[in-house]
Amino acid sequence: MKISENPTFENRYDGGVRLADKLKAYKGRSDVIVLAIPNGGVPVAAPVAFALECPLDFVICRKLPIPLRPEGGFGAVADDGSYILYPEMVRAFGITEEQADQQVHKVRQDVRERILRFRAGRPMPVLNGKTIIVIDDGLASGYTMLAAIESLRRRRPKEIIAAAPTASAPAVKLLEKTADKVVSVVTDFTPSFYVSRYYHFWHNMEDDETMRCI
């Protein structure tokens, strides 16, 4: 577990409580559904759904890890198998078409396995005509959220809001082109952005912990 100095949030749950205040205009609306991106988005989304008095579900979406540097990503794969590449990262790390294809194949398999584990055969709720609030614990490049939004658009919701306790300015700019609204408690305009910097207590969540939250 990492402990940050001068954080904005105590932990992910606290981030969710603070984020819920930014989303209070959606409270009590029967057309609103909160969708969390596992793993880190789940403990953020839980207090948001509670505060807004709306259903909580999740959308599986995984980043494409950079070869030999898996902590970074060069794109993301959504729950329907579609994927998005981050061109700047592909160029910066010299990722070949073959390497990209290999990572997409592996991550697609991971997404399928996680859908089976987390949903256990339960289908995605009907999103046609709904207002969807998609939540993660932070938006660094924004590409994981972008992949989720583009896959959700195909389910014909009325509105999609991308939300996170903290986000980089470039991620917000990217997502504003696709989401109907982008909401964050803190937007970071510095050149170097790390989601973990904003949380006093931070750790990479395992699937078992996510299941307990669900």
Residues 61/84, Cβ–Cβ less than 8 Å: no
pLDDT in tens, 76-119: 999 999 999 989 889 999 999 999 999 999 999 999 998 888 88
Task: Write the DSSP assignment of 87-133 as a string of letters.
Answer: HHHHHHTT--HHHHHHHHHHHHHHHHHHHHHHHTTPPPPP-TT-EEE
Residues 97, 147: Cα–Cα separation, whole Å: 19
Tokens describing residue 167: 């986000």
pLDDT in tens, 154-172: 999 999 999 999 999 999 9
**What is residue 69's predicted lDDT score, i.e. its pLDDT?**
81
Please work out, in degrees rounded to the nearest 5, the angle formed at the alpha carbon of residue 114 by the alpha carbons of 113 and 119.
110
pLDDT in tens, 195-210: 999 999 988 888 888 8
Q: Is the pLDDT of residue 4 over 80?
A: no
**What is residue 42's predicted lDDT score, i.e. its pLDDT?**
95
pLDDT in tens, 141-153: 899 999 999 999 9
Residues 176, 77: Cα–Cα separation, whole Å: 20
pLDDT in tens, 20-64: 999 999 999 999 999 999 999 999 999 999 999 999 999 999 989
Residues 153, 99: Cα–Cα separation, whole Å: 28
Residues 19, 182: Cα–Cα separation, whole Å: 12
Residues 1, 86: Cα–Cα separation, whole Å: 29
Contacts of 43 (CB under 8 A, 6+ apart): 11, 12, 13, 16, 137, 205, 213
Residues 160, 183: Cα–Cα separation, whole Å: 11
